[in-house]
Amino acid sequence: MDLIDSRHIKSATLHNPRHFSTYLYTTPFIFIYALLFGHYLQSEDVYVETYILILIVIAVIHAITFFSTFWNVSLRAFMCLSKVRKFSFSFSFSFLFIFSMI
């Protein structure tokens, strides 16, 4: 049985929102920024320009992954939502429908 019967909608699934700290565009970058900062503090011969350049590259990649969730519904579902494993009618209605358009 399909969730939606429409010729314009290819598929539909139920998802629950994840906590903000577990978004895939948040958690990995926290560790990357921390590793870069720790390496900067431990380094004896510090070239600030190199660290600034690396920080800019990481920040651009971080921004692209963040904004890609607004450009693509499938990426938003992958990075910010978790699939509903078992659905019951006593389930709280905080789920979201994710539609993939043809």
Label residue 61 by pLDDT band (50, 70, 90).
very high
In-domain check, residue 13: yes
What pLDDT, in 10s, does the model give residues 35-47?
999 988 888 777 8
Query: Where is 35: in which H helix or E strand?
Result: helix 27-42
Domain that holds residue 25: 9-101
Q: Is residue 26 part of a domain?
A: yes
Domain assignment present for 23: yes
55, 65 in Cβ contact below 8 A? no
CB 97 within 8 A of CB 7: no
Q: Could you tell me which residues are beta bridge partners of residue 12?
A: 99
Structural domain contains residue 1: no
Residue 53 has pLDDT above 90, yes or no: yes
Counted residue by residue, the chain has a size of: 102
Residue 42 lies in a domain: yes
pTM metric for this prediction: 0.67
- What is the C-alpha R_g of the chain? 20
Contact between 3 and 14 (Cβ < 8 Å) = yes
For 5-40, write each residue's pLDDT tens digit.
Answer: 777 777 777 777 888 787 888 888 999 999 999 988
Domain count for the chain? 1
